[in-house]
A and B are shown apart, each in its own frame.
Chain A
C-alpha cells in the first residue's frame, strides 16, 4: 500500500469528459495483451517474470518493492500498489461527476477491506499478514484502514471505525450486536453489504446517462452477490432462517420475490432452470457443465465474475463522451491485475500452465 490520501465522493460540478476520456484511452492502450500473458506464463521462473514485468508499466512499482526480495509476494505487492496508484491517478483528473460515480462504484473495495480486517481479527491473524491483503482503492485511506488493523479484536476494530467516523461505522455498529451474540461474522458482513448496496443505490439514483451507466453496473454487482448467496444457501440448512433478510436491494434482475423463490429451491438444477430467462442465464448455463464435473459452487462465482467483467469492460466502448470509458478501464485494469496475480501466484506454487490459462479472464 503506497497511498495515504482518502477520496471522498462528490456529486456535483463539471461534466466534461473530453480530457479524462482521452487520457484514459491513452492508458488503456498500455494494457497488456494476450501475447504478454503467454510470455509470462511460459517464463522459466519468478526472476524471468519479474524481468518481463519490469519492462511494462509495472516497472516503477516493482523497483520500489524489489528491495524486500524477489518472490511472488513482492510482485503481488507491486501489482496492488500499481492498482491503487492508477485508481488514485484517475480519480485525480476526473471531473466532479465522474469522480463521484467512480468513487461510489469503487466503494466495494472498502467493503472488501473492512471484511478482510474483520476476518483477520476474528481469526487472530497477525496484522502484517492481513495488511498484505488490503487494497485501499476505495474511499477509505491506508491510514484509516491501518487504524482498524492495529486493534486487537473485532470489537476494537469496529470501535476504531466509529471513532474515526468512517462511512461504514453505522453498519458495523448495527452488526456488532449479533456478532457478540453468535460469534459469527456473517451478520456483520451482511450488514456491510446491505449498507453499501443502499448507499450506492441512493447515490446513483439521480438522473442522467452517466448515472444510469453506473447504476447498471452496480445493479449487476448486487445481482451477482444475491445469486452467490442463493447458491451458498443450497449447501446450508436454511429452513429455520428468514431468507429475505439476505437479499440486497438495488439489483437489476434479481428482485426480492425472485430471490426468495430461488433461495427456497431444493437443488441447483431448479435454480438454474428458473434463472434461464434472466440476463445471467447464458453465463450460468455455460458454468453448469463444469459444475457437474467439479461439484463446486466456485464455478458459478467465476462465471458471474466473468460476466460482470465482460459486460462492464465492453460497455465503455459505446460511450465515448460519458463516464463509461473510465468505468470500463477501471474494470479492465482490475482484471489485468487479477490475471497477473493468478499467473505469478499460480506459477510460483507449481500450477500447471493449462490450469493457469483456464483461470484467466481475457476480454
Chain B
C-alpha cells in the first residue's frame, strides 16, 4: 500500500505554466539584456572616444585606458545574469 502511494506522488504531473507568464518572462529577460547592452555600449563609446583622445597625447597611460574601456562590460554581464535568473524563476 505505502509503495503504491509513493509511486503515485512521483508520477503527479506538473501544473502547466500560463503562456502569458512565459511570454512575460521572455520579454523581461530580453529587456534586461537589451537595456544593459545598450548602456554598456553607450558607456564604452564615451570612454572609447575620451580614451582615444588621451592616448593620442599620453600613450604611457594605455593600460589604464584599456582597463577603463573594459569596465562597462560588467553592466552587460549583470544584465545577462538578470536575464537568466528571470527565465529560470
Contacts and interface: CB of A to CB of B under 8 A. Distances in A.
Contacts of B58: 26, 29
Contacts of A18: 46, 49-50, 53
B56 A26 contact: yes
Contacts of A25: 54
A260 interface: no
Contacts of B51: 22
B9 interface: no
Nearest to A29: B58
Contacts, number: 34
A23 B56 contact: yes
The secondary structure that dominates the B interface is helix
A100 to B, nearest CB: 19
Interface string A2-22: 000000000000001011111
B18 interface: no
B50 A26 contact: no
Nearest to B57: A26
Contacts of A19: 49-50, 52-53
A27 B57 contact: yes
A254 to B, nearest CB: 38
B60 to A, nearest CB: 10
Nearest to A25: B54
Interface in A17-48: 18-27, 29-30
A6 to B, nearest CB: 24
The range of chain A's interface size is 10 to 19
A22 B46 CA distance: 11
B18 to A, nearest CB: 47
A16 B49 CA distance: 9
A20 B49 CA distance: 9
Interface in B9-59: 46, 49-54, 56-58
A30 B54 CA distance: 12
B64 to A, nearest CB: 12
Contacts of B54: 22-23, 25-26
Nearest to B47: A18
A171 B50 CA distance: 41
A275 B53 CA distance: 43
Interface in A76-95: 93
A201 to B, nearest CB: 31
B57 A23 contact: yes
Nearest to B61: A26
Nearest to B52: A19
B53 to A, nearest CB: 3
A26 B53 CA distance: 8
Interface string B69-89: 000000000000000000000
Nearest to A27: B57
B17 to A, nearest CB: 46
Given A18-B46, A26-B58, 19 more contacts: A18-B49, A19-B49, A19-B53, A21-B50, A21-B53, A22-B49, A22-B52, A22-B53, A23-B54, A23-B56, A24-B53, A25-B54, A26-B53, A26-B54, A26-B57, A29-B57, A29-B58, A30-B57, A93-B53
Interface of A: 16, 18-27, 29-30, 93
13 contacts: A18-B49, A18-B50, A18-B53, A20-B53, A22-B52, A22-B54, A23-B56, A24-B53, A25-B54, A29-B57, A29-B58, A30-B57, A93-B53
What 5 A-B pairs have minimum CB-CB distances, sorted nearest first?
A26-B57, A22-B53, A23-B53, A22-B50, A19-B53
